[in-house]
Each structure stands twice: as C-alpha cells, then as structure tokens.
Structure 1
C-alpha cells in the first residue's frame, strides 16, 4: 500500500483501467485452451483449479490490486462531496475481496479440470473463503455505486446516476440457481467495465 500511495494518480488509474480487460483476456484465453471448461457449467473462478490454476489465481490478485489502485487514486483526487471517504473505502474492499478470492481457489467439480468429480464437490475451507471474498467484493462495489448515485443526484448528473445505479442493481440481483456461472461472468463484466470507465473518467479530471 505504501508503494500505491507514493505512485502518481495517473499511474494508479492506468492500472485500474486495464485491470478488467486484463482479467477477461486471461480468462477467455483459458476458456478456449483448457479442455473441458464450459462457461454454462463452470464459473470463471474454476479456472483457478488444476495444474494451470495458478494463472487464474495471479489474474485475480493482479485485478484486485488494480481496483485497490482505483480506490487510492479516488481518495487522493476527490476531496469533497458525498462519499469522498466512503467510496474509496468500499472500492478498496472490492479489490481486497478479489485478492482474497485469488489466494483461495474453489474446488474442482463438474468434470473440470480433467479428472474432477462429475458432480458438485463438498466445499473445502478455501472454497468457502473464495466465495466469501467474491460476495464481499461485489457487495462492496454495489455500496460504492449507491453512494455515487446519491452524489450524482445531488449534482444533477443524470447519466452518471443511471450508470452507477445500473451497476449497483446488477451486483445486488439474487443469484440464479440454474445459470449462476453465466450470471457471475456477466456481473464481473459489468463490474470491470464500470471500473475501466470510472478510472478513465477520473484520469480526465487529472488533466
């Protein structure tokens, strides 16, 4: 964190902007090259299992650090208005949750990776930690976006309010019992699209 606070906001925001595209580029490359993976059945997190699981684990951690960079930059750049302290706090929790999810992978199951049980596996302690990290991360992002909605309404920034509100709504929707892996992938896509756009927006303010 000391290194992050000593880094210029533009550098932090650049790291934040590429975090999401980096995460999905790594995930898509693995989906296309690792035998047996099916996004309709397996959540992206399951790529962190097996002999090549370390790739996805590193991706989780680096992406989480990118979000923490966004939190630090936001704290340094926005010193007034609604959420000047709360938004960076919850963005930091969002990033930390992703780092935690990366350090503690879920269990092999539903035939992936090759040789894994065909059905659902009993959750190990590290799989539980992974799930908690993911839930905390997306919930924290939702809270940050709700605070930003309030700020946008007060500033009469209609487009910003709608955008932040949409992200919060997506993050808080109940998980589908039958399409959870696809919903998780969509939630992540929305979350990291927002992260990139918000980082770009803040970067413009520095100029």
Structure 2
C-alpha cells in the first residue's frame, strides 16, 4: 500500500513533465521559425511556406524544429492519455494528438523542394516535378493537421456541456484547420494554421497541469 501511495506523486510528476513538453512545442516552433524568417536571406512569408526554411545550408535548423515540435506533440498525447479520466473521446483524443506529433516529425525528416527563389540561387518559380521527399512532406503535414482538427472536434463534444466559450473557440480552431488552401495565399494560410494548431496544443497541455496542481 505504501508503495502504491508513493508511486502516485511520481506518476503525476511524470505526466506534468510530458504536458509541459507539449505546451512548449508551439512556442519553440514559432520562436525558431520567426527568427529564421527575419534572418535568412531571400525568405518571404508571402511566397514561401514555413516548411521551406528546411531547405538550403541552414535547413537543419527548421528540420530540428519540426522534429522537436513533433516530439512535443507526442509527449502531449502521452500526457493526455494519463490525465484524461472522463469524456467520451478521452481514449481517442490522445491518438489523434499523437498522429499530429508523428506527422510533424515526418514533415521534418522529409523536406520540401527549394522553389520560388529560396534558398537564394534557386530558380524563381515552382519546381517542374515534386521530389518523392517533397510529396512525403506534404502528405505528412496534411495528415498531421487533419488529425489535430479531428482532435479539436472531439474536444468540442467534451466541453460543450461545460462551457460555451471553449466550445466555440474549439469550433473556430477546427474550422480554420479544415478550410481549403488558397493557391494565392497558401504560405500565409499555412502559417495561420500552424499558429492556431500550436495555440490549441499549448492551452490543452496547460489545462490538465493546472488541475493536477490543484488536486
């Protein structure tokens, strides 16, 4: 009995660390991305998606950023699996969040093609034919954000009977992530999707930690 009692705080601390890692995924991702946007020659957010930062000599920085953010998403999924104790979607929600994290890791490993003049020296136009790793990158990103949108929809069902405002905000987040991409504004829309996605994961990661501390 004493061993069981002693184990509970240890499990709680472990879960808190996982949730903390999940909450940091978004801030770390955007701190890195924004720094690169401002410092890498030739980058233009209106023409180049964030993923294109993973190309060129300094591309390893964004590759690492994707992988770390993805691992943070996986940590969040495990933390949610341990801390969610009620709600119809409590078992499925961590799975979708875990798919989101794994998709980000894959999106980092498989880079998109240089195009539209970035990195500097690249022809100013689209690639004639997408490489296999660019196709894999696009597929991984699409799966990741679709899975997260599904997780948000599940969360709407979870909170709608408890509070109207969180349900509405979750609904707006899902709507943004599921909107079709506009070819003329794709890079901006991708950045907005990422901001919405990581804001959601950060808020969700911090909520169970507050509950744990008050318990």
CA offsets, 1:71-126, max 9 Å, x none? 10000001221111110000000111100000000000000001112100121000
Q: In the alignment, what sits opposite 2:154?
A: 147
Structure 1: where are the runs of 5+ without partners? none
SS in 1 for 2:125: coil
Shift of 1:167: 1.1
- Answer whether contact 1:82 1:148 (CA < 8 A) is retained: no
- Answer whether contact 1:87 1:144 (CA < 8 A) is retained: yes
- Answer whether contact 2:12 2:212 (CA < 8 A) is retained: no
Give the distance between the partners of 2:155 and 2:188, measured in 1 at CA. Answer: 27
Q: In the alignment, what sits opposite 1:106?
A: 112
Structure 2: where are the runs of 5+ without partners? 1-10
SS in 2 for 1:160: helix
Matched, 1:115 2:121: yes
Among 193, 199, 204, the alignment partner of 2:205 is 199
Give the distance between the partners of 1:51 and 1:7, measured in 2 at CA. Answer: 40
- Answer whether contact 2:96 2:150 (CA < 8 A) is retained: yes
Considering only aligned residues, what root-mean-square deviation do their CA atoms show, in Å?
Answer: 1.4
Q: In the alignment, what sits opposite 2:140?
A: 133
Matched, 1:177 2:157: no
Matched, 1:39 2:51: no
C-alpha spacing 1:6/1:112, structure 2 compared with 1 (3 Å): farther
Normalising by structure 1, what TM-score? 0.94
Give the distance between the partners of 1:6 and 1:176, measured in 2 at CA. Answer: 44
Normalising by structure 2, what TM-score? 0.91
Give the distance between the partners of 2:196 and 2:177, measured in 1 at CA. Answer: 9
Give the distance between the partners of 2:65 and 2:88, measured in 1 at CA. Answer: 32
SS in 2 for 1:8: helix
Divergent runs of 4+, >2 A: none
Based on CA coordinates, which of the two structures has the bigger radius of gyration? 2
CA offsets, 1:104-150, max 9 Å, x none? 00000000001112100121000000000110011001101111111
Shift of 1:200: 1.0
User: What count of residue pairs does the alignment treat as equivalent?
Assistant: 202
Matched, 1:12 2:40: no
